[in-house]
Structure 1
């Protein structure tokens, strides 16, 4: 099944400077093709392509509040993509970041609700830290189920992590209809709205962009150091790109499996914690519109590089918000954003495959 996923940019060969340049050019080629075919799609739908692309890509950045919304959506996308990048570099195909995000949100929301009672006497900042740590623990716990089944029974991590996502969705439905349901919520499946002191502080006035964005940027730096400047990161990458060499060097495949999935689950769980203590402010069945799945595209658009995921996250965030604006202003289906995401993934896969084949052909000819 991994054959149907995007080819890792780490697999492009030969390992020379031209191949690296072509690998990093692939996302820009894919983005250009996506916009070209997107313009054609607008034309077929009877819309002015230039005006439609303006609504889709330019209007979401027209003012301070709009920019804040774009950056807000990059937080869960980039956090999930950071962990997925580590997994994919280690050749571990975690597809369940969305489920790990949801369980992280449940753990974080339950923590806030435990303290959000009259006379709690606990500082709001302390509760937010505890909720964030609980979110990380929840995501790691959910990822550990995949790691355990892979480790003990050699179960396919793609199928296991994907199926666990649907179980996580049902778990969310259970808690918001059961133990964490708002008794005064008119029977809606939701928890009570968190008190303002237990919500992440905003970074910009007039915008919903919260302090989680700063944490995300710090994690991008830390993950870059981990991957490229630490022995543990080197060990993970060797295990992913050269398993035989890793075994010869005595690197533990089991340790790499658990490390990669724990990191991935932790960052996804943190994304869930930031969603429930940030823009949502409560537990809802729909805390994620598929951020964990979209983060797969973000990771590969960013070439599995932490800094690159920020670029990929901004692009995907534009597609999310652009799709909503195209629906309200142009009367187009709300699924248009997903169509653009799918086209970007398709063209990215095609570009990587063509570049890979061209490099192999040149290597043989030489």
Structure 2
């Protein structure tokens, strides 16, 4: 029943979503069909599913590791942006160079950028007991302003015909295509491999055991010699690093330059993916592709039936709501309690 709850949440989202959009004057059944069915049945959309799922899976895996330890990183969007900015910095500084070493260097920079943006919440949490929820979330908006400053200022392409963007990356700075005649780049298999490695580490390693024990039984963790502060640092560094890697893969694979539209809410959507996948890296793979269906389908529905852009966010919000509601019903049971006779013992 625990693993059936995500399926139930998706079904309820489709049913309630159809009713809501019908009530406000749209073709509700058509909206559900375009969002949840068309991306699966249309082979031309399959490549889009992989491209959208890859960053969601990477970020959600990192978040799930932290959530297992009760470390609530809500600012993965900012770490994703910093990963993209760090990778862009490497790309701009190596424009006159060539070689296969550039992409790995960009990946390292992306991971380091995401981790650096997670240092502040980790330090404030372990030293001053400041909630990582607030600090990580607020840093997201700092990251957006930093991106806008760089793209509109020192990194702006003078040959960009007035558009705020950096110069286009060179061939050695762009991820190779792994499926010919498609847009599926190397980032897709990388995301799958990272998720599989994370599953093995969480299930079979001391690190995974430490994460689970600290999250489930802090007192037992202290008795076993596991440091809560060390676990907080590890969890935030891993989640920040994976979000930064997702940013690097996006800027080097999908965008191929840095633009103001680089923040695409992947960091926030990945929170839903992590819970939809039951905080399990294997489940997150399937949840990531399921969420990418909704994202790609939302784009299709905007074109075919004129559904507003906010529709995808509504479906995502309902999906998380129904998932949490299903969890409540799975963990608890309603019980009818009759009135006790007067004078009976409590």
Tell me the TM-score normalised to structure 2 length.
Answer: 0.93
Mapping for residues 24-39 of structure 1, pairs under 5 Å: 24-39=3-18
Could you tell me which residue of structure 1 aligns to residue 230 of structure 2?
Answer: 255
What is the SS of the residue equivalent to 1:175? helix
Q: Which residue of 2 aligns with 1:13?
A: none
**Does the 8 Å contact 1:42/1:48 carry over to 2?**
yes
2:342 alignment counterpart: none
Contact preservation (8 Å) 2:156, 2:164: yes
The one of 60, 68, 71 aligned to 2:39: 60
- Post-superposition Cα deviations, 1:147-196, rounded to whole Å, max 9, x if no partner, equal 01111111110000000001010111111122221122234321111123
SS class of match (1:184): coil
CA distance in 1, matches of 2:196, 2:302: 36
Q: Which residue of 2 aligns with 1:210?
A: 185
Aligned to 2:286: 311
- Conservation of the 8 A alpha-carbon contact between 1:109 and 1:282: yes
Q: Which of 118, 125, 129 is the aligned partner of 1:154?
A: 129
8 A contact 1:319–1:338 mirrored in 2: no
Query: For each residue in 1:29-79, what CA deviation from the matched residue of structure 2 results, as whole angstroms up to 9, or x when unmatched?
Result: 111111111221232244444433222222223444310001110011010
Partner of 1:283: 258
* Structure whose alpha-carbon radius of gyration is higher: 2
Decide whether the 8 Å contact of 2:27 with 2:305 is kept in 1. Answer: no
Where 1:285 maps in the other structure, the secondary structure is: coil
In 2, Cα distance between the equivalents of 1:42 and 1:163? 33
Could you tell me which of 91, 113, 117 is aligned with 2:70?
91
Deviations 1:6-46 (A, max 9, x none): xxxxxxxxxxxxxxxx2212111111111111221232244
Q: TM-score, normalised by structure 1?
A: 0.88
Question: Within 2, Cα distance between the matches of 1:163 and 1:359?
Answer: 39
Identify which of 298, 306, 319 aligns with 1:331.
Answer: 306
CA distance in 1, matches of 2:140, 2:320: 21
Give the 3 Å change call, closer, same or farther, for CA 333–250 of structure 1 in structure 2: same
Q: Matches of 1:194 and 1:116 in 2, distance apart?
A: 8
2:11 and 2:212 map into 1 onto residues whose CA distance is 30
Find the counterpart in structure 1 of residue 341 from structure 2.
Answer: none
Tell me the CA shift for residue 318 of structure 1.
Answer: 1.3
Contact 1:82–1:223 (8 Å) recurs in 2: yes
Q: Report the CA distance between 1:323 and its aligned residue.
A: 1.3
Tell me how far apart the structure 2 counterparts of residues 327 and 181 of structure 1 sit (CA, whole Å).
31
- The reply to whether residue 51 of structure 1 matches residue 30 of structure 2 is yes
Whether contact under 8 Å (2:69, 2:212) holds in the other structure is yes
Q: Counterpart of 1:72?
A: 51
1:196-226 deviation per Cα after TM superposition (whole angstroms, max 9, x unaligned) = 3321111223321111111111111110111
- What does residue 231 of structure 1 align with? 206
Q: Per the alignment, in what secondary structure is the counterpart of residue 113 of structure 1?
A: helix
Distance in 1 separating the partners of 2:36 and 2:325: 23
> Is the contact made by 1:26 and 1:348 (CA closer than 8 Å) also made in structure 2?
yes
CA contact under 8 A between 2:277 and 2:287: conserved in structure 1? yes
Q: Which residue of 2 aligns with 1:354?
A: 329
* Alignment length (residue pairs): 336
CA pair 312-359 structure 1, distance change in 2 beyond 3 A: farther
Alignment of 1:175 with 2:150, yes or no, is yes
Gaps of 5+ in 2: 337-346
The separation in 2 between residues aligned to 1:243 and 1:360, in whole angstroms, is 31
Q: For each residue in 1:220-277, what CA deviation from the matched residue of structure 2 results, as whole angstroms up to 9, or x when unmatched?
A: 1110111010011101110001001111111101110010000000100000000100
Indicate if the aligned counterparts of 1:200 and 1:211 stay in contact, CA closer than 8 A: yes
Change (3 A) 1:359 1:292: farther
